[in-house]
Each structure stands twice: as structure tokens, then as C-alpha cells.
């Protein structure tokens, strides 16, 4: 094997420590695969208040204490704590960036009580970016690559090309910046820019990190990283060709198209597979799909819905935000619920969708079950116990739940966009070939037709079972994508 590559992997969310969405699943699983392929990858994330030292065996690192971090004119003091994540085959080093003033809190990005973004998110993530670089220096570990994820880490490529440019410790390090969701850009007023310590001339639209008169940290990552990736080929195409998907950064992304690669996220089948899942009442495989129904019964009980094996259960697990297509569901809910079906939703997010869903559950107590919480165990039970899984997303960079659903034999009904388009193949109702139901236009009629098509196939048991078996046998494990990343890392290092 050629020389191992060393990578610092920075993310604001990493399973099992901190999770608000798919980024955490990726950041928890991907590094383990890279490690299995023989490379030295280490994770860097904030030490949030809810991450228990005892629970995760987190220890102080004596020589990484009292690290000064400049935030504009101020200097804050951070230290590093250490732990591992392990999948039995390998261990991955995790460094926690401990700056209690910014991170000893109950939320990742916002206050869980008020639901408002923390007002000092600029300082929090400036400190994370500077902290990562300062830590490397003190550690004396010089990775080949720093792999950044989303806007929270977007300043790092800019720091390496400016403040740290002439420092021999850093000048060989290359950066990869992965876009998990272009719509969240980390936008702050111009006054926040001074806190970054970056040279004044970077505050410009053409070659810098400004959009209009604000600082845009997503733009910063895209502008300054050596290489950019995003989480599906289709999404890479969409963000460089459509104004809507490009979220104001289309032209810049187009300019950087030759450095932008779409690499599909993998999933961790040691966590998301019904044959080994410890969180579900009845394990099963594609050879024993008849046992899946046991989970359906438990799921219906958990949502206090009448148990009936024959009635199809359509589920959603999602952040309740505009991206996920709840407005379409809202338009068709009344018509859809004339069918003999059950709908189950697990989600947290915007008030308007919470209200819609709670009202729906009140109106149809025997047909609709809603829980407005974040509950990982319940998410597993829903994947195992449902017949269909709904993702009518407006856009979807990759999406993980449709991939989990397939492995659980829960047929995804998805809009053909981003990673949904790349991972699901439409079922042919004549022979059951395919793995899910797809619809094209973002409109409620198309969604309703898609669900009705799914219900029709469901009633044809033989065809349905064939599709379920197909879906369960799809393989989206990380190995293939991790190898693509290694190839990419090597290519960058040759440049
Ligand atoms: P996104 O990253 O846009 O939120 P993904 O489909 O990529 O969407 O990933 C969502 C992840 O978050 C999945 O692992 C899903 O199970 C999980 N998730 C979302 N909402 C909840 C919730 N309320 N309870 C438990 N897990 C949730």
C-alpha cells in the first residue's frame, strides 16, 4: 500500500456525541472507514455541554491546555480533551475543543428553550476554526489534509491561505471542504468579520467571503478550499446549474466546477440494518421479511394507534423545515387520509409544521401519530415498523433516511432530487423491479399520485414483496465512497 494519508476531520456534529441531522451520521461513520483503509484520520469537534465526560470516556490532555484563541481584540482560552470512537475493528482519535464560554451549552446551534440561534455563533465557530489550527501546532501533528464540513468550518481554508500562509508548519496542508447543505450558509453582519482576524481585503464579493454587505462562511469555504465536495453527484449538478439550488452561490460554484466533486454519502450498516439493530423489537433480513410485522405492531402501539397488520403505515422522520416538503403534505392530507392508511411522523422544527401535524393527529386519532421530539431509538423502530417512508423534499443534498428505509424494507416515496434521485430507482408496477417510488415536479398533485401508486402496488402482495426484497439488498455502505475520497485526497496531494 502507498503511504498512509493523515487527515484532520472537522465537524460541528459527530455521532454519538452531537447530532441534529445527517451531518452527524456522516461525521461519525466516514472517519472509521478511512481508518479501516489504513489512513490516520482524527476528528475535531466542539465539547458541548451535553457531551458527558464519563459517558464517553473523555479525558483532559495535559499538554493541550490554555491555548489562546484570538477573537478580534479578545483572547479566549481553550483546552483539548480526548476520546475515541470505535467500531470494534478500528479506533479513531477524537479531539474535543473545550471552550466552555462558547460551547458549554445545551444546544448545538440554538438554544433549545427559546429555539433562537445563539447570538454569538460567529465567535463560537471562529473559535473552532482557529482552535483547530492552533491545536495542530501545539500537538506537533501535521496532517496532509484538513477536511472541513459545512459553514461552521468554512474559515479554515481562508486562514491557511492568509494568516498561516507563511508558517512552514501549515504551508503543505491541503483542504477539502464538503457541502452537506448549501442552504445553511453561516451569514453574519460585517462587524463579525473583524473578529475573524482575516485581512481586510477578503471582505469582497469577487474573490472573498462577502455576499453583499454580510460575511458568508459557506462562501468562504467554497472560495478558499483546495477541493470541494458535496454529498451526491446530482446535487453537485443542481447547485452549479440552478439558481434555486445554488442559493446565491451558483456562479462561484460554477467557477470552481473542476474542483467540485459529488461523492455520495454512505451509511453505517452496523447501526442501520434490521438484521443487527439492537433498538428494534424483532430483527429480520430480506429472507425473513414476514417478521417485520412484529415491529409494525410495536410501532403502532408506541404511537397509540390501533394495531392492524394489513393497513399500510407511511412514515416520516425529519427536521420540520421548509426543505422537507411539508407544505405539499399539508395540501393533500385531507384527501390522502380518505385512504385506509396510517401516517406516523417523528420530527422537531418549525412551529407552523408542528401545529399542522399536531392538528392532524387530533383530527385523525386512529390514523395519524405524531411525536415532536428527537428520539433516536424511535427512529429505528419507525424504519423497521413502517411500510413506506415519505421524503417529498424540495431539495435533498444526499438524504440518509431513504437509504436506511431501503435496508429496512420500508419503501421510500421520494421526490427525484439530489441524493434521492441518485439512490432510489422507481418501482415498475408490472414486475416489482426497483426500490422506491419517485415523483418529479414539486407539487402536491404529483406527491398524491406517487403515494397512490405506492398504495396500489402495496395491495399486490407479490410485486410489493419483490420490491421490498430489492430495496433491502441495495448496498450503500461507506466503503465505496470512502475509497473515492482516498482517490481524491491522493489527487490533491499530488498537485
Ligand atoms: P438532514 O441532514 O437534512 O436532517 P438526512 O436524511 O441526511 O437529513 O439525515 C437526518 C438524520 O437525522 C437521520 O439519521 C434521521 O434519522 C435523523 N433525525 C431527524 N429528525 C429526527 C428526530 N426527530 N428523531 C430522531 N432522529 C431524527
pTM of the model: 0.95
Distance 403 CA to ligand 1 centre (A): 12
What's the alpha-carbon Rg for the chain, to the nearest Å? Answer: 23
Task: Please write the tens of the pLDDT for every residue from 327-351.
Answer: 999 999 999 999 999 999 999 999 9
As given in the structure block, the three cell numbers for residue 198 are 482575516
Q: Are 57 and 64 in contact (CB under 8 A)?
A: no
For residue 153, pLDDT over 70 is answered with yes
User: Which pLDDT value is given to residue 495?
Assistant: 82
Q: Which atom of ligand 1 is nearest to the CA of 346?
A: 23
**CA nearest neighbour of 307 among 389, 369, 349, 371:** 369
Distance 20 CA to ligand 1 centre (A): 7
**CA nearest neighbour of 210 among 165, 170, 252, 181:** 252
Where do the structural domains in the chain lie, given as residue ranges?
A: 6-266+478-494, 289-472
Torsion on CA atoms 373, 377, 378, 384, rounded to nearest 10: 150
Distance 400 CA to ligand 1 centre (A): 8
With a 6 Å cutoff on the Cβ, whether 138 touches ligand 1 is no
* Burial degree of 26 (CB within 10 A; 0-12, 13-18, 19+): buried
With a 6 Å cutoff on the Cβ, whether 347 touches ligand 1 is yes
Split at pLDDT 50, 70, 90, the class of 92 is very high
- Name the CATH superfamily, with its identifier, for domain 6-266+478-494: Glycogen Phosphorylase B; (3.40.50.2000)
User: Which pLDDT value is given to residue 2?
Assistant: 79
Task: Please write the tens of the pLDDT for every residue from 30-47.
Answer: 999 999 999 999 999 999
Distance 341 CA to ligand 1 centre (A): 23
Q: What average pLDDT score do residues 252-266 get? A: 98
Q: What is the mean pLDDT of the chain?
A: 97
With a 6 Å cutoff on the Cβ, whether 348 touches ligand 1 is yes
As given in the structure block, the three cell numbers for residue 319 are 427536521
For residue 54, pLDDT over 70 is answered with yes
For residue 291, pLDDT over 80 is answered with yes
Number of other CB atoms surrounding residue 453 within 10 Å: 17
Fold agreement (6-266+478-494, 289-472): yes
In this structure, the residue with its CA closest to atom 9 of ligand 1 is 22
Distance 263 CA to ligand 1 centre (A): 20
Number of other CB atoms surrounding residue 74 within 10 Å: 9
Angstrom distance (rounded) from CA 119 to CA 231: 29
Split at pLDDT 50, 70, 90, the class of 360 is very high
User: Which pLDDT value is given to residue 87?
Assistant: 86
Q: Could you tell which of 317, 373, 376 is best to mutate to test the pocket of ligand 1, judged by most ligand atoms within 8 Å of the CB?
A: 317
Angstrom distance (rounded) from CA 347 to CA 321: 10
Q: If you search the block for the grid coordinates 454569538, which residue do you land on?
A: 120
Task: Please write the tens of the pLDDT for every residue from 269-280.
Answer: 999 999 999 999
Distance 69 CA to ligand 1 centre (A): 33
Q: If you search the block for the grid coordinates 472537522, which residue do you land on?
A: 10
β-pair partners for 85: 92
What is the three-class DSSP state of 41? strand
Q: Determine phi and psi for 220, rounding to 5 degrees.
A: -60, -50
Number of other CB atoms surrounding residue 162 within 10 Å: 17
With a 6 Å cutoff on the Cβ, whether 22 touches ligand 1 is yes
Phi-psi region of 31 (alpha: psi -120 to 50; beta: other; left: phi over 0): alpha
Q: Are 355 and 257 in contact (CB under 8 A)?
A: no
Q: What average pLDDT score do residues 105-112 get? A: 97
Q: Which atom of ligand 1 is nearest to the CA of 372?
A: 23
Percent over 90 (pLDDT), the chain: 98
For residue 24, pLDDT over 90 is answered with yes
For residue 1, pLDDT over 70 is answered with no
In this structure, the residue with its CA closest to atom 12 of ligand 1 is 21
Residue 112 CA: distances (Å) to CA of 41, 374, 377:
32, 12, 20
CATH T-level fold of 289-472 = Rossmann fold (3.40.50)
Q: Which atom of ligand 1 is nearest to the CA of 371?
A: 23
Task: Please write the tens of the pLDDT for every residue from 120-151.
Answer: 999 999 999 999 999 999 999 999 999 999 99
**DSSP symbols for 221-290:** HHHH-SEEEES-HHHHHHHHH-HHHHTT-HHHHHHTGGGEEE----B-TTTS-TTT-TTSSS---TT-GG
Task: Please write the tens of the pLDDT for every residue from 394-434.
Answer: 999 999 999 999 999 999 999 999 999 999 999 999 999 99
Angstrom distance (rounded) from CA 214 to CA 205: 10
What is the three-class DSSP state of 198? coil
Amino acid at each position: 500500500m502507498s503511504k498512509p494519508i493523515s487527515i484532520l476531520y472537522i465537524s460541528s456534529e459527530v455521532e454519538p456525541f452531537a447530532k441534529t441531522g445527517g451531518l452527524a451520521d456522516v461525521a461519525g461513520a466516514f472517519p472509521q472507514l478511512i481508518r479501516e483503509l489504513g489512513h490516520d484520520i482524527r476528528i475535531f469537534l466542539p465539547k458541548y455541554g451535553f457531551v458527558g465526560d464519563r459517558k464517553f470516556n473523555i479525558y483532559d490532555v495535559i499538554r493541550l491546555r490554555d491555548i489562546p484563541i484570538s477573537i478580534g481584540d479578545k483572547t479566549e482560552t481553550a483546552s483539548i480533551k480526548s476520546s475515541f470512537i470505535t467500531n470494534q475493528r478500528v479506533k479513531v482519535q477524537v479531539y474535543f475543543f473545550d471552550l466552555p464560554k462558547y460551547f458549554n451549552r445545551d444546544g448545538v446551534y440554538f438554544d433549545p428553550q427559546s429555539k433562537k440561534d445563539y447570538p454569538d455563533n460567529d465567535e463560537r465557530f471562529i473559535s473552532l476554526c482557529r482552535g483547530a489550527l492552533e491545536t495542530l501546532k501545539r500537538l506537533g501533528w501535521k496532517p496532509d489534509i484538513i477536511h472541513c464540513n459545512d459553514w461552521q468550518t468554512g474559515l479554515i481554508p481562508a486562514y491557511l491561505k492568509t494568516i498561516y500562509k507563511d508558517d512552514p508548519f501549515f504551508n503543505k496542508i491541503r483542504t477539502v471542504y464538503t457541502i452537506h447543505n448549501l442552504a445553511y450558509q453561516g451569514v453574519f453582519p460585517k462587524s463579525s468579520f473583524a473578529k475573524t482576524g482575516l485581512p481586510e481585503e477578503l471582505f469582497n464579493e469577487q474573490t472573498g467571503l462577502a455576499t453583499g454587505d454580510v460575511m458568508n462562511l459557506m462562501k468562504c469555504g467554497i472560495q478558499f478550499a483546495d477541493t470541494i465536495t458535496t454529498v451526491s453527484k446530482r446535487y453537485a449538478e443542481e447547485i452549479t446549474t440552478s439558481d434555486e439550488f445554488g442559493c446565491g452561490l451558483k456562479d462561484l460554484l460554477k467557477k470552481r466546477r473542476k474542483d467540485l466533486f459529488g461523492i455520495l454519502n454512505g451509511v453505517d450498516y452496523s447501526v442501520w440494518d434490521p438484521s443487527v439493530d439492537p433498538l428494534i423489537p424483532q430483527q429480520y433480513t430480506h429472507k425473513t421479511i414476514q417478521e417485520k410485522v412484529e415491529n409494525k405492531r410495536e410501532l403502532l402501539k408506541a404511537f397509540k394507534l390501533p394495531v392492524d397488520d394489513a393497513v399500510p403505515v407511511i412514515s416520516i422522520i425529519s427536521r420540520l423545515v421548509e426543505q422537507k416538503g411539508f407544505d405539499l403534505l399539508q395540501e393533500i392530507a385531507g384527501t390522502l387520509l380518505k385512504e385506509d392508511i396510517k401516517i406516523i411522523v417523528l420530527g422537531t422544527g418549525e412551529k407552523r409544521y408542528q401545529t399542522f401535524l399536531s392538528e392532524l393527529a387530533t383530527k385523525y386519532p386512529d390514523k395519524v401519530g405524531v411525536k415532536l421530539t428527537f428520539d433516536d431509538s424511535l427512529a429505528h423502530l419507525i424504519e423497521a415498523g413502517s411500510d413506506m417512508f415519505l421524503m417529498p423534499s424540495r431539495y435533498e443534498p444526499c438524504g440518509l433516511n431513504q437509504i436506511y428505509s431501503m435496508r429496512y424494507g420500508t419503501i421510500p416515496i421520494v421526490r427525484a432530487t439530489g441524493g434521492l434521485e441518485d439512490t432510489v430507482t422507481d418501482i415498475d408496477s408490472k414486475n416489482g423491479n426497483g426500490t422506491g417510488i419517485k415523483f418529479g415536479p414539486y407539487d402536491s398533485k404529483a406527491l398524491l399520485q406517487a403515494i397512490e401508486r405506492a398504495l396500489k402496488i402495496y395491495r399486490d402482495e407479490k410485486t410489493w414483496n419483490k420490491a421490498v426484497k430489492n430495496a433491502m439488498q441495495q448496498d450503500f455502505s461507506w466503503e465505496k465512497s470512502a475509497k473515492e475520497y482516498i482517490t481524491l485526497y491522493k489527487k490533491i496531494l499530488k498537485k
